[in-house]
Structure 1
Amino acid sequence: MDGSDWLRLMDSSEALARLYTRPPDLASFDLFSVHIDERDTSLTLGFALDSLPERPPREWTEKGLNAFEFFLTFEGISHLRIDGWYGSRADSVTLTTGAPGEIRTEIRGDGFSASWDARRARVLRIRAYLAARHE
């Protein structure tokens, strides 16, 4: 499985799949949010891109939107391990088939790593917006 096959492991991925011919590697996005909810044993990752996806809806381009974000939620988390976290960019984000019926996720960056298994993963939300550009 290569870096763009992650979308096949997601439930409810149709809205995101329509935006790409081939989903880009998750490490090409800015991982800007990690939310762990121990009550529901879930974990949500927020990814952003400072441009629109490959095939944006006409409505987004007509409104002049220029940035994009989406959230992936992992449910039924087990074997969560986080080693260091310095706010640096993720160099690799991989989702693979793990133990039977599970999805294995690993994130690696300069000075940190995180990994977990999940029973289910889904695209929670996608959104385009207008971002100010700093020069």
Structure 2
Amino acid sequence: MTPAWAGLVRNLAVLTDFYTSPPPLEPVKVRSLYLDRRGPTLTLRLDLPGFPDRPRPEWEQNGCDTFQCQLQFLAVDDFKLRGWNPPVTGSLDVEPREERRVLVLLGADGTRLTFSSSDSLTVGKMSAYRAAPDGMDHGRHYYVGKVDQMRYSVLPDPGEKTFYGRV
């Protein structure tokens, strides 16, 4: 069964290349968020629960154990954030609303994020990596996209708008 959020992803094929069925967004580790007033757009960088069941050979050869991606929401409205101290692990719920909108809620210990957006989600900037002993993601990343492979081997600085603002 495909989780409800995956049914809203306009480019779902990029995930189904690696997952027989996209995982639920619980528990999900949200690493960063990027707000762009143009759009307005919100991009979450997160670790999906469960490593892909169809990983690339290089991921297995290099001991990767975590799959990370960005999930982008368009036409964001009613944005509220309290207690942001990333990374944040919790449940990311995407609930359909009227007029092709969704309500998004992230509930985690000490953090609360809510907003509404268009019901058309986009997944991008996918990578696999081996989580550090402290759970951080600062090591080598193996990106799916060809341009990302050429440009990045580790996460870029937070000010890199072409990475964090575009999926």
Q: TM-score, normalised by structure 2?
A: 0.67
Alpha-carbon RMSD: 2.6
Structure 2: where are the runs of 5+ without partners?
A: 135-167
Does 1:16 pair with 2:15? yes
* In 2, Cα distance between equivalents of 1:50 and 1:108: 16
Q: TM-score, normalised by structure 1?
A: 0.80
**Structure holding more strand per residue:** 1
Retained in 2: the 8 A contact 1:88–1:110? no
Give the share of equivalent positions with the same residue, in percent: 26
Residue 115 of structure 1 deviates from its aligned partner by 1.2
Amino acid at match of 2:64: L
Q: Could you tell me which residue of structure 2 aligns to residue 83 of structure 1?
A: 82
The equivalences for 1:87-126 within 5 A come to 87=86, 89-119=88-118, 120-126=120-126
Flag the structure with more relative contact order, 1 or 2, with Cα contacts below 8 A and sequence separation at least 6. Answer: 1
Give the aligned length: 133
Structure 1: 5+ residue runs without aligned partners?
none
Q: CA deviation at 1:12?
A: 0.9
Bigger Cα displacement from structure 2, 81-90 vs 96-105: 81-90
Which string of whole-angstrom CA distances, capped at 9 and with x for unpartnered residues, describes residues 53-107 of structure 1? 2221334324543332110011111111223324463321111212221122111
Do the aligned residues in 2 keep the contact of 1:3 with 1:94 (CA within 8 Å)? no
Decide whether the 8 Å contact of 1:37 with 1:43 is kept in 2. Answer: yes
